[in-house]
Amino acid sequence: MSYFNAMRGFPEAEYADRVARAQAAMANHGLAALLLTTEREFRYFTGFLTRFWESPTRPWFLIVPASGKPVAVVPSIGAPLLERGWLEDIRTWRSPDLNDDGVELLADTLNELSADGRIGLPMGHETHLRMPLADFFRLHSVMGPNRLSDDRGIMRELRMVKSVAEIEKIRAACSVADRAFARVGEIAAPGKQLDEVFRRFQILCLEEGADWVPYLAGGAGPQGYDDVISPATQAPLAAGDVLMLDTGLVRDGYFCDFDRNFAISSASDEMRDAHGKLIEATAAAFDMAKPGALACDLFHGMDSILTGGKGGAEAGRYGHGLGMSLTEWPSLIADDRTELVDGMVLTLEPGIETAPGRMLVHEENIVIGAGGAQYLSAPASAELPILNGAAGGEPA
């Protein structure tokens, strides 16, 4: 199992425990197997970590039977890497196959492992099926009626609560971003183009230990930014701008997701106050984030500070789950009554309107413990940091 490097991956017991918990839930729900198709679902039970999922060409299938280890039905190209992991039953076909890209092999394997039982697939919120829809219909037709059903939320329930080892992975990713954010003074100053700042920030993340940087968003302007999802423009930073960088970097397969705001050269009182209010809202939610609290409680706690309780902004939520994906269940919104439990990892992400169509957003990452929350990111101070350009190392 050479892909379980020192300090990398998890011991086999971690995967065995995940499978055991899945199988207990499957028994409760009368499911004979789970059928999984996405990178996150596949890796959750196997540790199979490769950026090859970036290629949409080939489907990958994992079956969790009612007992025993998961069984993989995968393109041959994946076998050498997968064989280094803990699975024993790896069935392959030569993909891409334009006539049958694994569907018959998958159906045979499902029938063998589940007899006439019901097979659960994740179908709910924040999930998708990573195989061609025509192949799914073909599978459905081969398997017969009432065999494929939803997974009763089992994958959501499992992934939403992190193990101690998973929490350490997320903490390590957060530490990388902490160190990169501490160096933003090297790359941001009046006159620097925002797209160049984005490029250099990704370099900082890599230098500080990111394996890769799947997500970076941000914005800049004298009264904040107009959204938090746009790519960087070529506009230069100006004195008085507030610059925000929001990164989802990955280390050993786990994300951090938090942002930092920086005033370029100087900050207006208005921006300082807005930033202070965001930190106040974050701290309030942090204090509420204990086992037994509901996701919506944290939303309302922040919203009372941010809007006086008007119900939040049209565009956003005030945080979400975090782990193998940049965003996961639950959502910090008024309607999400998910109860927080020990081991959940969340982002707290309050936003505030600073002018019509302009905003500031702040974000931290926390973990719920038995006695309350802990920060995984090093929490920002209420004071909006001011970059004076003194630290600036010019890119080569």
Q: Which residues in the 273-292 window bind a copy of itself by CB under 8 A?
A: none
Residue whose tokens read 């409680």: 297
Q: Candidates 158-166, 171-179, 228-236, 262-270 — which segment interacts with a copy of itself by CB under 8 A?
A: 228-236
Residues between 304 and 333 with contacts to a copy of itself, criterion CB under 8 A: 314-317, 320, 325-328, 331, 333
132, 144, 191, 309: which one binds a copy of itself (CB under 8 A) = 132
User: Does position 212 bind a copy of itself by CB under 8 A?
Assistant: yes
- Which letter does DSSP use for residue 193 in this model? B
- d(CA 328, CA 306) in angstroms, rounded, equals 23
- d(CA 1, CA 4) in angstroms, rounded, equals 6
User: Does position 224 bind a copy of itself by CB under 8 A?
Assistant: no
Report CA torsion sign: 269, 275, 277, 279.
Answer: negative
User: Does position 146 bind a copy of itself by CB under 8 A?
Assistant: no
Check whether the bond before 330 is cis (ω within 30° of 0): yes
| Residue 68 C-beta: closest distance to a copy of itself, Å | 26
Nearer to a copy of itself, 49 or 271 (CB): 49
108, 227, 287, 339: which one binds a copy of itself (CB under 8 A) = 227
55, 146, 370, 390: which one binds a copy of itself (CB under 8 A) = 55
Q: With contact defined as beta carbons under 8 Å apart, do 151 and 120 qualify?
A: yes
117, 190, 214, 392: which one binds a copy of itself (CB under 8 A) = 214
User: Does position 81 bind a copy of itself by CB under 8 A?
Assistant: yes
Residues between 86 and 125 with contacts to a copy of itself, criterion CB under 8 A: 92, 94, 96-99, 101, 121-125
Nearer to a copy of itself, 114 or 331 (CB): 331
Nearer to a copy of itself, 40 or 384 (CB): 40
CA distance readout (Å), 88 to 48, 70, 207, 358 = 13, 8, 37, 54
Of 366, 71, 384, residue with least CA distance to 241: 384
11, 13, 30, 76: which one binds a copy of itself (CB under 8 A) = 76
41, 166, 211, 364: which one binds a copy of itself (CB under 8 A) = 211
The DSSP bridge partners found for residue 260 are 245
| Residue 348 C-beta: closest distance to a copy of itself, Å | 16
Residues between 154 and 193 with contacts to a copy of itself, criterion CB under 8 A: none
Residue 394, burial from CB neighbour count under 10 angstroms (0-12, 13-18, 19+):
exposed
Please list, in sequence order, all residues whose beta carbon lies within 8 angstroms of the beta carbon of residue 236, skipping any fewer than 6 positions away: 190, 191, 192, 193, 194
- d(CA 351, CA 346) in angstroms, rounded, equals 16
54, 146, 308, 394: which one binds a copy of itself (CB under 8 A) = 54
Name the strand (E) or helix (H) holding 91: strand 89-93
User: Does position 389 bind a copy of itself by CB under 8 A?
Assistant: no
- Got the DSSP string for 210-266? -SEEEEEEEEEEBTBBS-SSPPP-SPBP-TTPEEEEEEEEEETTEE--EEEEEEES-
Residues between 336 and 365 with contacts to a copy of itself, criterion CB under 8 A: 336, 357
Residues between 7 and 26 with contacts to a copy of itself, criterion CB under 8 A: 8
Please provide residue 46's backbone torsions phi and psi, each rounded to the nearest 5 degrees: -125, -25
Please list, in sequence order, all residues whose beta carbon lies within 8 angstroms of the beta carbon of residue 55, skipping any fewer than 6 positions away: none
User: Does position 231 bind a copy of itself by CB under 8 A?
Assistant: yes
Nearer to a copy of itself, 123 or 161 (CB): 123
Q: Candidates 71-79, 107-115, 273-281, 376-384 — which segment interacts with a copy of itself by CB under 8 A?
A: 71-79
- Which letter does DSSP use for residue 225 in this model? B
Q: Find the length of the chain.
A: 396
Nearer to a copy of itself, 218 or 267 (CB): 218
The DSSP bridge partners found for residue 215 are 248
